[in-house]
A = this chain, B = another copy of it.
Amino acid sequence: MTSPELRAHRLGLTIPDYSDPPYGGRYGIGLKAFHRVGDFVELSGITPENRAGERVHPGVVGADVSVEQGREAARVTALNALGMMRLAVGSLDNVVGLSRALCFIRTTADFDQLHEISRGATEVFTEVFGPVAGAVGRASVGVTSLSRRNCFELWLSFEAAAVGD
């Protein structure tokens, strides 16, 4: 069986390193990337920004951000999520399965192609973890505003391999 780390390598994915510099500085003190209770892990909110803070397609989907651009932002966010999973459990190979992905999308009130944005994120997960471990529960929610005018934010939980496995 192909491992998630091997798949990510073969796909040539660019996955950021959240250990260097340490996660969280941009938004102030008191933030952390993840928390684990037993084998259940909750990740902090993930945005379409690189480690230098450069944003991918900030704005409002349905107004100044197109569906294609929103989907690309969601894809970049999912790549960031992979980096945060590595930080949390050491390796993507220690991810037993994803649990839920709550996708916040900054939209106009009449935009209704939310799932076309969110699938930019969830497609990354099936590419890397396969169709079973990479499947998620999902909701896509249109919101008025997100931090730093980002158009997408991901709120993800997953199951980690038991320590010692």
> Hey, which bits of chain A sit against chain B, CB under 8 A?
24, 27-35, 37-40, 42-45, 60, 97-100, 102, 104-112, 114-115, 119, 122-123, 125-126, 131, 134-149, 153, 155, 157, 159
Question: Chain B: which residue is nearest A137 at the CB level?
Answer: B44
A119 cross-chain contacts in B, Cβ below 8 A:
27-28, 30
Quick one: which of B40, B131, B135, B139 contacts A37, CB cutoff 8 A? B40
**In the complex, what distance in Å separates the CA atom of A45 from the CA atom of B31?**
20
* Copies of the protein in its oligomer: 3
Given contacts A38-B40, A39-B38, A122-B30, contact A144 B146 (CB under 8 A): no
> In the bound complex, do residue A143 and residue B144 qualify as a contact, i.e. CB atoms below 8 Å apart?
yes
Q: A96–B44 Cα gap in the complex (Å)?
A: 18
Min CB gap A116→B, angstroms:
9
Q: What residues of B have a CB within 8 angstroms of the CB of A39 in the complex? A: 37-38
